[in-house]
Amino acid sequence: GQQLNQSPQSMFIQEGEDVSMNCTSSSIFNTWLWYKQDPGEGPVLLIALYKAGELTSNGRLTAQFGITRKDSFLNISASIPSDVGIYFCAGQLNSGYSTLTFGKGTMLLVSP
């Protein structure tokens, strides 16, 4: 099945550093979402973006919906050890009925 192109595949950083990851698609999406998944758990929604060009923050997290509607990025500022996990982007054509298309994920490791 289709998956979005998500990069980098993994990151190993020092606590306090900023992190940036992005997601691209060959198709247009009307909604972009970013999820975090901890081991043995389901994905948890971090940020949802609904308009092209939209920039949204949730605490230390900031995400943007690309102008072309084919990409999105997620920034994490001042990383802390509990940021460790796998981050997934997901695109959706329409709300509610429409399915989510996920990227392969970015594994983030944070060294104290």
Partner 1 sequence: ETGVTQSPTHLIKTRGQQVTLRCSSQSGHNTVSWYQQALGQGPQFIFQYYREEENGRGNFPPRFSGLQFPNYSSELNVNALELDDSALYLCASGTATNTEAFFGQGTRLTVV
CA–CA gap between residue 57 and residue 69 (Å, rounded): 18
Rounded to a whole number of angstroms, the minimum distance from the CB of residue 112 to partner 1 is 26
Nearer to partner 1, 3 or 20 (CB): 3
Interaction site with partner 1 (CB under 8 A): 1, 3-4, 6, 31, 33, 35, 40-45, 48, 50, 88, 90, 92, 95-105
Q: Residue 54: in which H helix or E strand, if any?
A: none
Nearer to partner 1, 90 or 110 (CB): 90
Rounded to a whole number of angstroms, the minimum distance from the CB of residue 98 to partner 1 is 8
Q: How far is CA 74 from CA 11, 37, 88, 96, in A?
A: 13, 15, 10, 23
